[in-house]
Chain A
Amino acid sequence: MVVDLDKCTGCQACVVACQAENNIPINTKDYFLQRRAYEWIRIERYWEGEYPNVKARFMPVLCQHCENAPCEPVCPVYATYHNEEGLNVQVYNRCVGTRYCINNCPYQVRMFNYWHPNWPHRMENQLNPDVTVRSRGITEKCTFCVQRIRRGEIQVEARAGQRLDDNRIAAGNYDPACVQACPTSALMFGDLNEPNTAIKPYFDDVNNYPGHHEHERETRGYRLLEEMNTRPSVIYLKKVDQYPLADKGAH
Chain B
Amino acid sequence: MQEGKVLPAAQINRDLLRSILETPRWFWPVVTLLGLIVLVAAITIGVMINTGLGITGLNYKVVWGFFITNFVFWIGISHAGVMLSAILRLAKAEWRRPATRAAEVLTIFSLMTAMIMPIIHTGRPWRILYWAFPYDFARGVWPNIRTPLVWDPSAILTYLTSSTMFVAIALVPDFAVLRDRTTGWPHRIYTLLAMGWEGNPRQWKLQIIAGVLLSALILPVFVSVHSIVSWDFGMAVAIKSWHSTVFAPYFVVGAVHSGVSAVVFAMILLRWAYGWQEYIRHEHIDALGRLLIVVATGWFYFLVMEIVFGIYGLEGDELAVRALQFLPTESGVPYNIWMIVFVGITYFLPVILWLPRAWRRNLWIMSTACISVNVGMWLERYLLFVPGQANKQFLTFTWNDYLPQPAEAIIVGATFAFVSMLMLLFSRVFPLVPLYDIKEGDILKTEIKVGRRTVPATFRED
Contacts and interface: CB of A to CB of B under 8 A. Distances in A.
Interface of A: 34-38, 42, 44-46, 61, 70, 73-78, 94-100, 102-108, 111-116, 136-139, 225, 228
Contacts of A94: 130, 141
A108 B398 contact: yes
A114 B150 contact: no
Contact of A100 (B147, B397, B398): B147
B144 A103 contact: no
Chain B interface main SS type: loop
Contact of A114 (B54, B236, B397): B54
Given A34-B59, A98-B149, 16 more contacts: A36-B54, A38-B60, A44-B397, A61-B395, A74-B146, A76-B143, A77-B144, A78-B141, A103-B63, A104-B237, A106-B238, A106-B392, A107-B395, A108-B398, A114-B58, A115-B52
B128 interface: yes
A103 B389 contact: yes
A75 B236 CA distance: 12
A121 B447 CA distance: 87
Given A61-B395, A107-B395, A136-B52, A35 B60 contact: yes
A100 B68 CA distance: 11
A104 B131 contact: no
Report the contact-size class of chain B (Cβ under 8 Å from the partner). Answer: 35 or more
A73 B232 CA distance: 12
B60 A76 contact: no
A5 B418 CA distance: 55
Interface string B143-178: 110111110000000000000000000000000000
Interface of B: 51-54, 56, 58-61, 63-64, 118, 122-125, 127-128, 130-131, 141-144, 146-150, 232, 235-239, 389, 392-398, 400
Contacts, number: 136
- Ranked nearest first, the 4 interchain pairs of A and B with the lowest CB-CB distance are A97-B123, A137-B123, A35-B59, A44-B397
B397 A45 contact: yes
Nearest to B149: A76
B147 A116 contact: no
B393 A108 contact: yes
A102 B398 contact: no
A103 B141 contact: no
Contacts of B123: 95-99, 112-113, 136-139
A220 B408 CA distance: 47
Contacts of B118: 98
Nearest to A81: B144
Contacts of B392: 106, 108
B460 to A, nearest CB: 45
A36 B59 contact: yes
